[in-house]
Amino acid sequence: MRIAIIGGNLTGLALAHMFLDSDHIVDVTVIEERAEIGFPCKSPGILYDSNLWKSYFQDWDISIQEVGHSLDDGSVSFRRAWLEKNISLSLVEKGASILLRTRVEKSEEVSLKLQGAGGSTHWEGDFIINVPEHESGNHSWTGMVTSREVVGGWPRDDGTWETWIQNPSQMSTTDIFIELIETNFSSFETTTIDGSLKRAVVLFDELTNSF
């Protein structure tokens, strides 16, 4: 069974792993417009319930303790772009294909016309799954990476702090921003690492029930 996943974000990558780890014999291709998995990243790097997802990370040969930064409340912070890159590397080791700098020009029921760095190609298979990075929503959010503590944020393993706010007026003029991320999504909870993984589980269950 050949499966194409459009979207090399955390949900898409996790979904690809779930297919390869299942009892189904599958050939998985992940299609991503960006030049590099994880960069740029427009989603929070916080995992609230690491125990729930520990077995998944183990299946993907990723140690939460080594890659993440454990916080006092039991949650774990990540530099999400690097987490996604690590997950993609383990995905390739399992035999998946990842097409970077590739966009979908035309999509039919079980075929795609693709435009990549090497020109135009076609993909044909059994299932095409479109996985946007965020669930649709019109709420504006700003992510900030700063060099010092910010109320409502969390520390990362490199000594920086990550914070997400809806109201830009909450931004302090004294903060030194290393990175600013402006994006739209339905809710903060759905875009955390937990939320993205839950989306992958729901998609996997829905799709495997249709096989």
What distance, in Å, lies between the first and last C-alpha atoms of the chain?
A: 10
DSSP code of 211?
-
Q: Which of 194, 202, 165, 195 is nearest to 68 (CA)?
A: 194
At residue 173, does pLDDT exceed 60?
no
Amino acid 124: pLDDT: 97
At residue 120, does pLDDT exceed 60?
yes
The structure tokens listed for 79 are 């530099």
Q: What is the pLDDT of residues 44-76, one digit of tens each?
A: 999 999 999 999 999 999 999 999 999 999 999
3-state SS class at 71: coil
DSSP code of 125?
-
Amino acid 27: pLDDT: 97
The DSSP line for 31-55 is E-SSSBTTBS--S--EES-HHHHHH
Q: Which residues of 162-172 are buried (b: 16+ CB within 10 A; e: fewer)?
A: bbbbeeeeebe
Highest mean pLDDT among 79-88, 138-147, 150-159: 79-88
The structure tokens listed for 104 are 């979908």
DSSP β-bridge partners for residue 183: 141
At residue 174, does pLDDT exceed 70?
no
Residue that has been written with the tokens 């019109």 in this structure: 138
The DSSP line for 73-123 is TS-EE--HHHHHHHHHHHHHHTT-EEE-S-EEEEE-SSEEEEEETTEEEEE
Residue 97's CB is within 10 A of a number of other CB atoms, namely 14
The structure tokens listed for 82 are 């690097």
At residue 2, does pLDDT exceed 90?
yes
At residue 172, does pLDDT exceed 70?
no
